Structure 1
Amino acid sequence: MSAGKKNRVTISDIAREAGVSVPTVSKVLNGRPEVAAHTRERVEKLIMHYNYSRRASHGTGRAGLIDLVFHTLDNQWVLEIVRGVESVTHDAGLGTVVSAVHEGRRTDRAWLDNISSRRSDGIILAVTELGPRHAELLHGLGVPVIIIDSLGQPDPSVASVGATNWSGARAAVEHLVSAGHHRIGFIGGPPQLQCSSARLDGYRSALLAAEVAIDEELIVEGDFTYDRGENATHELLDLADPPTAIFAANDQQALGTYRAVEQRGLSIPDDVSVVGFDDLPMAQWITPALTTVHQPVATMAAQAARMLLRHAETGGFETNRVELATELKIRASTGPGPKA
């Protein structure tokens, strides 16, 4: 690094010159013991040479920032999470920094470098999956982490906030069965995710309890995107005995179902009833309004933020798992099934 860079050196610059990882530099800055003596000495010399200092705290030993990390930033679920977190951090006088992982890109560690350099007070992860490499790097930062796992697989060793996916899905299918539907299609989520498995299990459980035969042809894999919802709906409607109702495992896919039904010249709910999962604001804006399982996304995010604030005060989480209730919201997209 040149002499002219002394006043704008970053933690990534120091790590690169020292030949170590960003979390290692963070450990030295935090005075943590698990760094070899010769490595610590090398890093400390660079810190002194470049007169590096982290973001000043607000006199409480805290940086005044919470990091909120997503996998992507292009859907309404993200906005609900931001709204929930910001409602807590704003009242607490903290800032919220939003970033995306962009897994697999050359810049996919930029968010970790940024978190390290600004001495975040806590990290809220709202990502589809947290790879082992990122998990290891996060652990090395010595910053409390909490996961909002409505789209992910919660690690039992990491604090997390989720929702009752199984019971929410079961309630959705029970509603359709009680309306007279026995051919109910299911568009799931990525199978490796815990919430996807729970929603599929809830679907199966409701059919078994109602003594409705489970037809595996009616179960198609999804990925929580609009396009997959549209394509999966066409697959279901192409069956020799198509469903009279479709339960999409999230609202984005349910919107894709709307589009596919329209393309077929069919109507909702007269020809096909549709149920989603999430209850994002758009669920009430579309026509007909979407029957969906209300997942308290903003409340989940606010709960995660409050848990981080308590961690800052007490040094630990009171519990590693909080699960909030879901509720079925019945609207105009569901109607009676075909008459026998």
Structure 2
Amino acid sequence: MSLASQGQKPNLAEIARAVGVSTPTVSKVLNERKDVAEKTRAKVLAALEEAGYRSPAQRRTTMGPEVVEVAFDSVNTTYASTLLSGILAYAATVDVEIILSTTGGLPAGGLDLSRKAQRMIDERRAGLIVVTSALSTAHLAAFRRRRIPVVVLDPLNLPPADLVSVGATNFAGGRAAAEHLLDLGHTRIAYLGGPESAEYNQARLHGYMSALMARGIDVDPALVINGRFHADHGAEGLGALAALENPPTAIFAGNDVIAVGVLREARRLGIRVPEDLSLVGFDGTALAEDSVPSLTSVAQPLQEMGRAALRSILLQAKGEQLDSHRVELATQLVVRESTAPPRA
């Protein structure tokens, strides 16, 4: 008796028995896994077609535009909104729908990744873009098993070699920020950064250190304070630096939000920017333009980073080969009002 004549749609186990293979093999074929022999694939595909099953590609073709999920740790920042605007702008040109979610338990507990990955299959997601989160090989296993493309934007940790990541030239940007301050005549330059374990924070810090050492200036450990990419860290960091016997004349902040915290605390302490203290941020968001004084900042091409992440997801979803698993886009120092030569 054929599968189609049994009166109801057979499940995968019944199809597997009819073809003489295992249920996982049928699942692999249905989800377009490549680790199945061609003869076996052909038999299973014929049985699936007869039973009325469709592959993810067939479902995408017949059920409207592709859907990509974008998971943020928080969307309440100008950084996140700028990235998202790039993703949405590109999505509109390629007829892709964007679904937003929060990283929640990624990577620390609370989120069942196997269930999330299966839900993405069931709900016809073409892939997942994760913004500023740390994903290990173990965390990614659930997505790999189901062949769901994943791209990480600004990863917190060094991503596995086979994971596609998109970021900016953080080392070069950190070096450019420090070199700008050195060219102005500053030699006591502090760094207020984000989490010490964050890869892009380390790259910005190492760029700063490289610039100082190239000028024969030792890096003073007292002038390097890592913490959170939060305004409170900027405020607290300035308080600690101002209390030093020999405080810095300039600060390189690991992002624009930290720099805004520095500005807030500087006003409270009566420290004038840039007359008493020069300040450079990182990201080049609207915060930098709108601050008073406006912030000199290392601008990341955030919108283009968002577009690059979505392009990569769509290429992977089509099974196309990527030129590189690591995409780094160039940063640019934008000089505004918050930097000046040190007081004589």
Task: Give 1:16's aligned residue.
Answer: none
Counterpart residue type for residue 212 of structure 1:
I
Deviation at 1:327? 0.6
Deviation at 1:205? 0.8
Task: Give 2:243's aligned residue.
Answer: 238
Deviation at 1:139? 1.7
RMSD (Å) for aligned C-alpha atoms: 2.9
Any stretches of 5+ residues in structure 1 without a counterpart? 1-22, 36-47
Q: How does 1:182-331 map to 2 (within 5 A)?
A: 182-331=187-336
> Contact 1:230–1:256 (CA<8 Å) still a contact in 2?
yes
Whether 2:64 is the aligned partner of 1:73: answer no
Structure 2 CA distance for partners of 1:276 and 1:24, relative to 1, 3 Å: farther
Structure 2 CA distance for partners of 1:56 and 1:75, relative to 1, 3 Å: farther
Deviation at 1:279? 0.5
Secondary structure of 1:162 counterpart: strand
Structure 2 CA distance for partners of 1:219 and 1:267, relative to 1, 3 Å: same
TM-score (ref. length: structure 2): 0.79
Distance 1:294 1:209 in 2: 23
TM-score (ref. length: structure 1): 0.80
> Contact 2:130–2:151 (CA<8 Å) still a contact in 1?
yes
Task: Give 1:106's aligned residue.
Answer: 110
Secondary structure of 1:57 counterpart: helix
Distance 1:289 1:338 in 2: 20
Counterpart residue type for residue 179 of structure 1:
L
Determine what percentage of the aligned residue pairs are the same residue.
35
> Contact 1:126–1:151 (CA<8 Å) still a contact in 2?
no
Structure 2 CA distance for partners of 1:57 and 1:290, relative to 1, 3 Å: same
Distance 2:116 2:69 in 1: 9
Deviation at 1:260? 1.4
Deviation at 1:73? 2.5
1:147-177 deviation per Cα after TM superposition (whole angstroms, max 9, x unaligned): 2126543322111211111111111111101
Task: Give 2:87's aligned residue.
Answer: 85
Deviation at 1:133? 4.2
Deviation at 1:252? 1.1
Deviation at 1:322? 1.6
Counterpart residue type for residue 254 of structure 1:
A
Deviation larger for 153-162 or 170-179:
153-162
